[in-house]
Amino acid sequence: MKSHSSYWQLLSYIKAQSTTIIYALICTLIFTIFWPLLAWLAGRMANYIGQGDVISIAQLAGVAAVIFLLRGIAQYQQDTLMAQSALAITLKLRIIIYAHLQKLSLNYFEVAKTGDLSYRLTEDIDRIGEVVNKFFHQFIPCILQLIVVLGYMFYLNWQLTLASLLIAPLMAVLIGGFGEQLLKFSRRSQTRISNLSSLLTEVFSGIRLVQAFAAEEYIIQKFTEEAEQNKQARYLAERIKAIQFVVVGFLEAMSVVFLFFLGGWQISQGNLTGSEFVSYVAAVALLIDPISITTSNYNEFKQGEASVDRVFELLKIKPDVLEKEGAISLSSVNGKVEYRQVSFSYSSNKTVLKNIDLIVNPGETIALVGASGAGKSTLVNLLPRFYNTDAGKILIDGIDTKELKLKSLRQQIGIVPQETILFSGTIAENIAFGQTFFDLKEVKAAAKIANADRFIEELSQGYYTYVGERGVNLSGGQRQRIAIARAIFLNPSILILDEATSALDSESETLVQEAMMRIMQNRTVFVIAHRLGTVRRANRILVLEQGQIIESGTHEELLEKKGRYARFHAQQFYN
């Protein structure tokens, strides 16, 4: 492997497995050494068979049986030890990359494709494991065999060996050149397969929409195009391999012909006997297997390099939102929130929030209203530091949120999003999300406050009912109440509620509103309000327009003002 090969990035992972790998290599060595020993025994045995010496034959057969047994044990050990270390490397890589991804900021996931990420974490890492396994299990033993056999050939006749090696540099250059091409096409093919995987994730998670829009044909067409591109890239890689085998095979054949020519010439000059030449050719035959194995290994390594690049690329991505060194951990807060001259943009060309100044006292409920795209979600998303502000500060109980440990900051803030995401697991696990161990009593208490206990109890397995990735077996209102229970379970001092825009049936709506009211008590609440009831109950309403707070006050105050809120209110709530 070249010094700039991506494989160097694996070194520390391989080092961690060095003891197991060394044991595996020792077993490989033992296994290899037994080969000539068995060949030697076969020769001796042939001798005794000729002499009809049954006792010696029996003795040798016994020795052979022991050697076969030991060889089998060594083989088993080398196979299992190598598999063990390759799998350990795979596991470690997978965990490290997964944990790293968890630390990345939201803006990364807004552009990353889920299917591509899962492909890198599964297929690409598996391929790396296979490469590591083959490198130690096949490649190194074959290289050793090549060295030993070549040494033997030099010992037999160095002039002949040197002459037949003349072709080696050309072969190396050719194999290297083909390898580069293979790497190129492997990269292409892997990108394609990642795209395919992303497409699959998107399509299957949005299958309702696909069917609703009768977009099956369109989706199949897109899939076919991607699959076709992948096939093309793979075909090109296979074609490179096929050409390589023909060219390298031809050169090998030519070198054998050349060898016979040289051998004949050396014999005619009296430098070599016929039997020496036969031994020499036998040694050359021993080179064939390791050469073909190392060549095919080399091709696989080149293809695997694309996977190494794709996996380590992820590790190089740094989170935008970083925790300060020596950041403070807060166990509880009163819930005072301040925005001081906060400005923010997702990308440099458009400011989404401009000079926001806001003080929210503990226990106060703030309703955010404004047209779509005004910046309501962005304003609340800055509070748990999902993004960094471009300018200004956000403080909780007088402490700049940048001074806080991210975990401790986020534990103080409960979020009830517009659309509830339920993870695979039981209802109880979904309510106590993020906790491995929890008290079911607390889960039940949270569900009760969220008006969710009754429908949960009625489910076949109660709190242990399994809900799918998207909780398809629950209604919209039930899902919302689970989201509320989840926030109650966390018991945060600050709460962000994003009211659902879609209307529920009136019974469900009442239950959800009631739950919302309960959860808002004694907490600082930011609610992105879409219901008149919520807006009226808020202590203060902030009207956002193009990233600025243009009006602020109670419902009555703002109506009296007959400004933007009054107009908005008339359009939004009386329609």
* Footprint on this chain of ligand ATP (rule: CB under 6 A): 110, 346, 352, 370, 372-378
Asked whether 479 and 512 are in contact (CB, 8 A), the reply is no
Q: Which is nearer to ligand ATP, 4 or 350 (CB)?
A: 350
Closest distance to ligand ATP from the beta carbon of 528 (Å) = 6
Q: Which is nearer to ligand ATP, 77 or 351 (CB)?
A: 351
Q: Which is nearer to ligand ATP, 419 or 557 (CB)?
A: 419
Phi, psi for 112 (deg, rounded to 5): -70, 150
Q: Which is nearer to ligand ATP, 12 or 372 (CB)?
A: 372
Asked whether 418 and 496 are in contact (CB, 8 A), the reply is no
Q: Which is nearer to ligand ATP, 132 or 542 (CB)?
A: 542
Q: Which is nearer to ligand ATP, 86 or 544 (CB)?
A: 544
Q: Which is nearer to ligand ATP, 90 or 377 (CB)?
A: 377
Q: Which is nearer to ligand ATP, 218 or 346 (CB)?
A: 346
Q: What is the largest distance, in Å, between two alpha-carbon atoms of the chain?
A: 121
In angstroms, the CA 91 to CA 475 distance is 38
Closest distance to ligand ATP from the beta carbon of 417 (Å) = 11
Q: Quick one: tokens of 192?
A: 């394609």
Q: Which is nearer to ligand ATP, 125 or 382 (CB)?
A: 382
Hey, how many other C-beta atoms are within 10 angstroms of the C-beta on 403?
16
Q: Which is nearer to ligand ATP, 240 or 374 (CB)?
A: 374
Q: Which is nearer to ligand ATP, 110 or 556 (CB)?
A: 110
In angstroms, the CA 453 to CA 440 distance is 12
Q: Which is nearer to ligand ATP, 141 or 375 (CB)?
A: 375
What Rg value do the Cα atoms of the chain yield, rounded? Answer: 35
Closest distance to ligand ATP from the beta carbon of 538 (Å) = 16
Q: Which is nearer to ligand ATP, 216 or 419 (CB)?
A: 419
Q: Bridge-partner residues for 544, per DSSP?
A: 370, 549
Smallest CA-to-CA distance from 547 within 415, 350, 385 is with: 350
Closest distance to ligand ATP from the beta carbon of 73 (Å) = 59
Asked whether 124 and 190 are in contact (CB, 8 A), the reply is yes
Q: Which is nearer to ligand ATP, 352 or 474 (CB)?
A: 352
Closest distance to ligand ATP from the beta carbon of 345 (Å) = 8
Asked whether 524 and 336 are in contact (CB, 8 A), the reply is yes
Closest distance to ligand ATP from the beta carbon of 104 (Å) = 14
Smallest CA-to-CA distance from 186 within 5, 295, 310, 312 is with: 310
Helical H segments across 402-540, by residue range: 406-411, 427-431, 440-449, 453-458, 476-490, 506-520, 532-537
Phi, psi for 568 (deg, rounded to 5): -60, -45
In angstroms, the CA 417 to CA 497 distance is 6
CA dihedral 329, 331, 333, 339 (to 10 degrees): 20
Amino acid type, 283: A
Q: Quick one: tokens of 107?
A: 């803006």
Smallest CA-to-CA distance from 167 within 287, 272, 299 is with: 287
In angstroms, the CA 297 to CA 303 distance is 10
Phi, psi for 465 (deg, rounded to 5): -70, 135
Closest distance to ligand ATP from the beta carbon of 105 (Å) = 11
Closest distance to ligand ATP from the beta carbon of 350 (Å) = 7
Closest distance to ligand ATP from the beta carbon of 411 (Å) = 24
Handedness of CA 485, 490, 494, 500 (dihedral sign): negative
Identify the residue whose tokens are 């096949």: 138
What lies within 8 Å, CB to CB, of 296 at 6+ separation is: none
Closest distance to ligand ATP from the beta carbon of 117 (Å) = 18
Pairing label, strands 494-498, 413-416: parallel
Closest distance to ligand ATP from the beta carbon of 354 (Å) = 12
Asked whether 508 and 532 are in contact (CB, 8 A), the reply is no
Closest distance to ligand ATP from the beta carbon of 100 (Å) = 21
Hey, how many other C-beta atoms are within 10 angstroms of the C-beta on 410?
18
Closest distance to ligand ATP from the beta carbon of 438 (Å) = 32
Closest distance to ligand ATP from the beta carbon of 477 (Å) = 21
Handedness of CA 52, 57, 59, 60 (dihedral sign): positive
In angstroms, the CA 371 to CA 376 distance is 9
**For the chain, percent helix, then strand, then coil, each to nearest 5?**
65, 10, 25
Positions of E strands within 134-212:
none
Closest distance to ligand ATP from the beta carbon of 346 (Å) = 3
Q: Which is nearer to ligand ATP, 351 or 513 (CB)?
A: 351
